[in-house]
Homo-oligomer: A and B are copies of this chain.
Amino acid sequence: MAEECYITFDPNKIGVSEGHLVIPKGNNEEPLRLRVVSHNRGDGPRVLITAGSHGNEGEGPIVARRALEWLPSLQRAGRVIVVPALNSSALEGWSRQSPLDGLDLNRIFPGRAAGSISERIADAVVRLLLPLADVVFDLHSNGPKWGGVPASTFYPIADAHLMLRTLRIAESFLLPATMVWDGEDPGMFDSVAVKQGKVFVCGELGAGLITPGSLAIAEAGVRNALIGLGIVDGRAEPPTFLQKKQSQTYRTLSSDYLCSPRRGVFEPRCSVLEHVSEGNVVGVVHPLDLSASGSIEIRSPITAVVCNVRTSMVVECNDRVVVLGRPG
């Protein structure tokens, strides 16, 4: 490979530095230029905020843009590097996967410098942006196929010190839920960052509709976390969700991801943040032929809180349909 990725902003410049992460596509094509903005007030925590890894998860990119608007006046310490749209082609197509190579950017980390375009984005982020940060906020949302509680999330970490620090920072978003998940898929940005000793928090900021209300919740979460780190001025405050201001930490075991026992049309029978008891019906899977008999009920195996509910119609056998959380 003759060409190398590079950055055109100056992370050491005090103040704002705008530029690009430039990623060669090979084959003498024009390189991909991903916009990056660095806000540097010198000493303090070094944060990387990435958004738009999945193109159909809209809250992150809009919140990242809003943060760029208020950082100049509110930041008092540290450095925040923001990439508002990590996967610009997927964003334009409102698709989870990149339309250019069909890959899910958040399942191919740490990427490959000589790979397809998504692999090259992952590689460039890991080699050029990740070393510039101690803390990473990767802004996702549940997207159009899931309902879910706005949450800061992470996977359990073997290093107890890093685990505790990650938990505290995740909780500092003050979102309705902090979720400690199980069952990390291979190739996620999370594990690569954690392996390098970084605090990595994935914001699952919204679900279903993007509204002024959902954007306000998402923005409050990111701002709260930056306030918690001492990077920006202000008072951290839990946003209102479903008429309540509440923050709760949940633990989700692998067995708490409830899956469809068959292919069919999923009908949700539970709502986000609903308390369900062991044995409660949380959903029904109907035959694809909707007027036929043979619907199967899905029951909660435990007493728990509903954190995510599938909302797209047809599910495959073993597709996740409900995610439960155990308050903890």
Contacts and interface: CB of A to CB of B under 8 A. Distances in A.
Interface string A156-174: 0000000000000000000
Given A291-B65, A311-B58, A212 B271 contact: yes
B35 A292 contact: yes
A163 to B, nearest CB: 32
Nearest to A35: B291
Contacts of A92: 288, 314
A13 to B, nearest CB: 16
Contacts of A144: 144-145, 208, 312
A202 interface: no
Given A207-B209, A211-B268, A291-B35, A312 B82 contact: no
A47 interface: no
A212 B268 contact: yes
Interface in A83-118: 84-85, 88, 91-94
Contacts of A270: 212
A286 interface: yes
Interface string A268-290: 11111000000000000010111
Given A211-B271, A291-B82, A313-B94, A265 B62 contact: yes
A262 to B, nearest CB: 14
A277 to B, nearest CB: 16
Contacts of A289: 35, 85
Contacts of A313: 55-56, 58, 61, 91, 94, 210
Interface residues of A, number: 49
Interface string A49-85: 0001001101001101100100000000000001011
Contacts of A297: none
15 contacts: A35-B292, A52-B290, A58-B265, A62-B267, A68-B291, A84-B291, A88-B288, A91-B265, A91-B313, A91-B314, A92-B288, A210-B268, A211-B268, A212-B269, A215-B267
Interface of A: 18, 35, 37, 52, 55-56, 58, 61-62, 64-65, 68, 82, 84-85, 88, 91-94, 144-145, 147, 207-213, 215, 265, 267-272, 286, 288-292, 309, 311-314
Given A85-B289, A144-B144, A211-B311, 10 more contacts: A35-B289, A58-B311, A84-B291, A85-B290, A88-B288, A93-B314, A208-B311, A209-B309, A212-B268, A215-B268
